[in-house]
Amino acid sequence: MARALVTVPATARRGEVIEIRALIGHAMETGYRPGPDGKVLARDIIRKFTCRYNGEQVFAAELHPAIAANPYLAFFTVATASGTFEFTWEGDKGFSQTETARIAVT
Amino acid sequence: MKPTAIDARRRRLAQFALAGTALALSGAARATQEQMAAAITAFTGGAAPKQGKVTVDVAQLVDNGNTVPVTVRVASPMSAAEHVTAIAIFNERNPQSDVAIFTLGPRSGKAEVSTRIRMATSQKLTAVARMSDGSFWSGSADVIVTLAACIEGEG
Q: How far apart are CA A87 and CA A8, in angstroms?
A: 11
CA contacts within 13 A on the Cβ side of B32: 5
Across the interface, of A33, A57, A69, the residue whose CB is closest to B151 is A33
Q: Which amino acid is at A26?
A: H
Across the interface, of B105, B112, B153, the residue whose CB is closest to A34 is B153
Question: Residue B18: what pLDDT?
Answer: 45
* ipTM metric: 0.93
Checking if the pLDDT of B13 tops 80, the result is no
Q: Say if the Cβ atoms of A60 and B112 lie within 8 Å.
A: no
Question: Residue B128: what pLDDT?
Answer: 96
Question: CA angle at residue B8 from B5 to B11, to 5 degrees?
Answer: 155
pLDDT tens digits along B67-119: 999 999 999 999 999 999 999 999 998 899 999 999 999 999 999 999 999 99
CATH class belonging to B30-147: mainly beta
Range of the domain at A35: 4-105
Q: How confident is the model at residue B4 (pLDDT cuts 50, 70, 90)?
A: low
* Closest B-chain CA to A72: B115
Q: How far apart are CA B140 and CA B119, in angstroms?
A: 15
Domain count, chain A: 1
Question: Residue B59: what pLDDT?
Answer: 93
DSSP code at position B66: T
**A88 touching B (Cβ < 8 Å):** no
**A58 touching B (Cβ < 8 Å):** yes
Across the interface, of B96, B101, B107, the residue whose CB is closest to A78 is B107
Q: Say if the Cβ atoms of B98 and A64 lie within 8 Å.
A: yes
Question: Residue B14: what pLDDT?
Answer: 56
Chain A, chain B: beta-carbon pairs less than 8 Å apart: 104
Question: Residue A45: what pLDDT?
Answer: 95
Among positive and negative, which fits the CA dihedral B54, B59, B61, B65?
A: negative
Residue A79: give its domain's CATH number. 2.60.40.10
Q: How far is B95 from chain A (nearest CA, A)?
A: 8
Query: DSSP string spanning A61-86?
Result: EEE-TTBPSS-EEEEEEE--SSEEEE
Domain locations along chain B: 30-147
Q: Which amino acid is at A36?
A: P
CA contacts within 13 A on the Cβ side of B155: 19
- Region of B17 (left: φ > 0; alpha: ψ -120 to 50; beta: rest) is alpha
